[in-house]
Structure 1
Amino acid sequence: MGDADAASAELLAQRYRSLVEHTPDGICVHEAGRVVYVNPAMVRILGAHSADDLIGLRITHFVHPDDAPAMLDRIAHLTAEGAASPPTDMDLVRVDGRRVPVRTVSVLTAWQGEVAYQAVVHDLTAQRAAEASARQAEAYFTTVVSQLEEGVLVVDRRGRLESINPAGKRILGIDEGAAVLGCHIDELPATMIDRDGRPLPSGKHPMAHTLATGEPVSRYVFGVLRGDGQQVWVSCNCRLLNPDNPDSPGVSSFADITEYRASKRQLEYQATHDALTGLANRSLILSQLSNALADEGDALVTTVLFIDLDGFKAINDTLGHAIGDTVLQVVAQRLQHALRAEDVVGRLGGDEFLVLLSGHPQRTNLPALIERLRTSMAEPIIAHGHRLEVSASIGITELGPQENRTPESVLHDADLAMYRDKPSGPDDLAPGRNRRSNNHAS
């Protein structure tokens, strides 16, 4: 070998030694079972003060007893120089007795002319700590999700269920022990329906939209027909589990809003209906009249009836409001029964009622309808042991094809017509009289 070749070899050796000295992985060379070299990283991994604390010790001194036999077996199978064992996870024992998780590769080599083994050791302490932390976090969040009252499910890109928490199964009516993981969401024992009660196509499900577009969906309301026959309403949110990854599964959280929805509908009903009779209240019936007048001649409502009970004040004054309330309830029921389903009747207040007749009745039919209403309301009423007879005055105003009156004008005209129909008597005053009590209209 010439001087140039020798210089090149020396330079290469220096670079190798520098690499070995500064690599973050531990390097350990052992010959005949004893340590002959360790780099600084190996000194750090084993918790020694210097390499001198390790040189000359048996290699098995630093290998956990559970892993030593397998290690010796691996290096025994290395028969050719340069042969390497497969990467293997094992535990080393530091000088202070603590275990260190590592991944090692052993290579058959030569050391100062003798057969030796070089072990490359990668410290797994940080990785194992991160994995343990991730497992702890996963267990924590799994516990949290399992305790939620809100349903949570995860669906893969093909629409197959990856996970669902207990609340999700309960809301959807799925048995706790049912094996549904891996099922397509369309195969779950629950039928999704829209707000009109029609089955919701799979392509219209909010999760399908999120998986197709990546866009989140918030507060989407739909119904669920469960396998046990019950129907619930849910509000759900959908998003990608990892929004930065277009191939991410989707996660949906959903809450049972059945009671809330029923309560809301009840409040809406109470706001538009008379508490005593259940009829449309003044606000609703006048709103419907206003809508009819705004239809520019195409209105379904063609005739308005203003109905006032005769002699009702005497009932209140002599028998009390409880019996008066019963009379109003019976009259309301009779009005509903005497009218068609498409007609609307409401209570304006006190003993005043307004009827909106739909369709285009022949004028010859209107007198018959009025007579039917009078006859129905004139039938005796039994209230708390009292037999009462109540008649009614009915004012009629018809809506023309090009009606330009306001709701107030129509109501006023019907009111005047009702007074013209009312028989004279001490209980019947001119327009503008003080209305009677029992004004329970909402």
Structure 2
Amino acid sequence: MTLGDDEIDAAADVSATDDSPAELSLAGNESADERYRRLLEHSPDAICVHQHGRLVYVNKAGLRWMRADSADQMIGHMITAFVNPESVPAMLSRIAGLRRQGDISEPSEATMLRFDGTRLDVEAVSVLTVWSGEPAYQVIFRDVSAQKAVESALRYQAALVQHVSDAIIATTTDGEVTSWNPAAETIYRRSADEVMRRPVTEAVGAELDPQKVLDLGGVATMTHYDVGGRMLTVRVSAAAMDDGYVLLCTDQTALRRAEQHFETVVASLDEGVLVLDHTGRILSVNPAVKRLLGVTADHLVVGYRELRRAWSEHWEYLAYDAEGAPIKSISEPPVLQTLRDGTPFTGEALNMNAADGQARWLAVSTCRLNPEEGERSAVLISFRDISASRSATERFAHQALHDPLTGLPNRTFLLDSVQRLRDHGQLAAVLFIDLDDLKGVNDSLGHDAGDVVIQAAAQRLRGAVRKDDVVCRFAGDEFIVLLVGPFQPGELPAVTERIQTMLAEPVLVAGFAVQMGASVGVVETGADDDRDGATLLRVADRAMYAAKAQRRRTVVFSTSAKPTPGGQLSR
């Protein structure tokens, strides 16, 4: 209910007339009034005087409390202009009860509206007095805003104690429980009535000395037990009070179980997991790291410089782009770049210097563990041994490009190599070699004997040429030799003669000495030769047939520098 100025006037008139004319003393002299006013001026409390609801006086403290620049802002105005409407009814009720000069009201709370737009909580006491010879009301205000803030904080703290999820336990200096909040009841499954004035050790089911916790720095992780004997992992924080201790007990049982579960999973992984801090120091490793790297945690590097040196000297790295193509130009160990700027790495690494002496191919991934921490984030490195799969892949790739009987590159490898060497200007000559009389060996001694002859021919051809030359088994008893690099005059005939000589040596097969030999077609090429690889093979093929047509164990050099029309490469 909001009351207007007329109602205040009426309340004042009633208070000034009922039973008061005969008893109100207007005695006093001017000097007494002056002394009274000086007393009011110097009072630290805010004091105002109003008559018929209008302010006639406000002391300095009142002006200061109201954030007023001068008394003119308030004198002559209705007091209700400066009082929260919700506080007006209580104010009227308070002054209506004053009948005689000197009557004092009970303290009541009010909210004042200040000139700067803020509010001030006060406790007001009204006194029926005389001002300038007429009845008036003197109001003394006391600032209770700080008290209200404290009370509010206390209520908030009490609510926290009642509603937080952590157990808050107060004890005496001897360790007897004096306070046990609802969270403590939930965690330990013991009611406050059960534990009050009992030793805190009994309340938490385990030894708990608050002073020892303080001696350890105020925080300790302990094992407690609830009423049913269930083990609890509890983080205990202790604070000393004048008459005892306050303990904050946080139930970390679920967190600890999750950590143990995580640790068990990581420890059982076949994949190595290594965590470094932002300086390169090792924070943790799982057992697989020892097996994959052939080292223990004690042997691993600790620090950025050591990391750079150790991981640069004996490791090879192979990264992949977004399309999965290999990137071979890696200037430094990828983990260093991850440590420096957070760049993740996914690729392969060859550890050539493991402590157990084994070289291993590993699939490696590096990334920041907590990207939101930026350059101070720890780095996670994971390793997976791919040596077996990589060996299998290399073996399959080798089998796809090599002849299983002789181990020489096969026809597929040849067709790619001849064109590549031709395009790079590295091909000097092509030799097409066909073994003589292999059919007779197969017919007389069997195909196993023929395989032995083919294997012997392959070995001798490989021994007759240089390291960079390419020897391929083309088909059946046919071989191709690609001579790489420049030849000196007369050197090419010397190579073909050496091949013929080595192939002519007998081969011991099933107790029989088998005489070998070959027909050879040779085509020489140079920088001004525009024939492609397939054409050169066809020309060498024709030269070989020309040699076989003349007589066995013959070498024919092709004299044509240009492609001849028609004709296909033999099998």
Q: Does 1:375 align with 2:375?
A: no
Matches for 1:42-441 after TM superposition, within 5 Å? 44=182, 60-61=197-198, 63-64=200-201, 124=249, 128-129=250-251, 131-175=252-296, 178=298, 180=300, 182=302, 184-185=306-307, 192-194=314-316, 204-246=332-374, 247-295=376-424, 299-423=425-549
- How many Å separate the matches in 1 of 2:335 and 2:403? 42
Conservation of the 8 A alpha-carbon contact between 1:102 and 1:121: no
Moved over 6 A (4+): 27-31, 66-73, 86-102, 187-190, 431-435
2-structure distance, mates of 1:302, 1:226: 43
Report the CA distance between 1:259 and its aligned residue: 2.3
Distance 1:157 1:277 in 2: 54
Greater Cα shift, 210-219 or 397-406 = 397-406
Tell me the CA shift for residue 63 of structure 1: 4.5
Is this contact kept in 1: 2:541–2:570, CA < 8 A? no
CA distance in 2, matches of 1:344, 1:235: 33
Shift, 1:280, TM fit: 1.1
Write the distance in 1 (CA, Å) between the matches of 2:485 and 2:185: 97
How far 1:122 moved relative to its partner?
A: 7.2
The 1:106/1:394 distance shift into structure 2, 3 A limit, reads: closer
Q: Secondary structure at the match of 1:307?
A: strand
- CA distance in structure 2 between the aligned counterparts of 1:181 and 1:327, rounded to whole angstroms: 56
What whole-Å deviation, never above 9, does each CA across 1:397-436 have from its counterpart, x for those lacking one?
111322222322211111111111114689xxxx98996x
Distance 1:411 1:8, change over 3 A: same
- 2: distance between equivalents of 1:407 and 1:72? 90
Contact 2:500 2:518 (8 Å CA) reproduced: yes
Distance (Å, rounded) in 1 between the aligned partners of 2:201 and 2:266: 39
Is the counterpart of residue 25 in structure 1 residue 161 in structure 2?
A: yes
Q: Deviations for 1:77-108, whole angstroms, at most 9, x for unmatched residues? A: xxxxxxxxx98899999999999998675765
Alpha-carbon spacing, 1:303–1:195, altered in 2? closer, same or farther (3 Å): farther
Larger radius of gyration: 2
Q: CA RMSD in A?
A: 4.6
Alignment match, 1:82: none
CA shift for structure 1 position 263: 2.2
Change (3 A) 1:243 1:375: same
Cα distance change, pair 22–347 in 1 and its aligned pair in 2 (3 A): same
How many residues in Structure 1 have an aligned counterpart in Structure 2?
A: 389
Counterpart AA for 1:212 = R
2:280/2:302 contact within 8 Å kept: no
CA separation of 1:191 and 1:151: change in aligned 2, threshold 3 A: farther
Matched-pair contact (CA < 8 Å) for 1:374–1:391: yes
SS at match of 2:351: strand
Instruction: List per-residue Cα deviations over 1:109-137 (Å, max 9, x = no partner).
Output: xxxxxxxx6x896764xxx23x3322222
For 2:395, give the aligned amino acid: Q
| Cα displacement (A) at 1:226 | 1.5
- Once residues 263 and 541 of structure 2 are traced to their aligned partners in structure 1, the CA distance between those partners, rounded to angstroms, is 68
TM-fit CA distance, 1:189: 10
Pairwise CA distance, 1:395: 0.5
Is the 8 Å Cα contact of residues 206 and 220 (structure 1) preserved in structure 2? Answer: no
Alpha-carbon spacing, 1:434–1:318, altered in 2? closer, same or farther (3 Å): farther
Give unmatched runs, 5+ long, in structure 2: 1-43, 46-106, 108-122, 126-140, 163-167, 319-327, 553-566
- Measure how far apart 1:396 and its partner are: 1.0
Q: Is the 8 A contact 1:172 1:190 kept in 2?
A: no
Q: Secondary structure at the match of 1:400?
A: coil
Cα gap change, 1:25 to 1:417, in 2 (>3 Å): same
TM-score relative to the length of structure 1? 0.72
Task: Evaluate the alpha carbon distance shift between residue 105 and residue 308 of structure 1 in structure 2; reply closer, same or farther with a 3 A threshold.
Answer: closer
By relative contact order (CA 8 Å, sep 6+), the higher-ranking structure is 1
* Cα distance in 2 between the residues matched to 1:286 and 1:339: 19
Give 1:367 deviation, angstroms.
2.1
Equivalent position of 1:439 in the other structure = none
CA contact (8 A) 1:277 1:328 kept: yes
Q: Deviations over 1:43-98 (max 9, x none)?
A: 645769xxxx999x99734855589997799xxxxxxxxxxxx9889999999999
SS across alignment from 2:373: coil
Residue deviations 1:9-41 (CA, integer Å, cap 9, x gap): 77765664454344312699999x9x9x99xxx
* Amino acid in the other structure paired with 1:344: V
- Tell me the SS of whatever aligns to 1:360: coil
Whole-Å separation in 2 of the counterparts to 1:346 and 1:93: 78
SS of alignment partner, residue 372 of structure 2: coil
Alpha-carbon offset, residue 394 of structure 1:
0.5
**Which residue identity lines up with residue 168 of structure 1 in the other structure?**
V
Distance 1:163 1:273 in 2: 46
Q: Which string of whole-angstrom CA distances, capped at 9 and with x for unpartnered residues, describes residues 308-348 of structure 1?
A: 11111122222211000000000111111111112111110
TM-score normalised by L of structure 2: 0.57
Contact 1:235 1:256 in 2 (8 A): yes
Q: Is the 8 A contact 1:224 1:234 kept in 2?
A: no
Question: Residue 399 of structure 2 aligns to which amino acid in structure 1?
Answer: Q
Distance 2:481 2:454 in 1: 15
CA deviation profile, 1:161-183 (whole Å, cap 9, x unmatched):
1111111012111147x465856
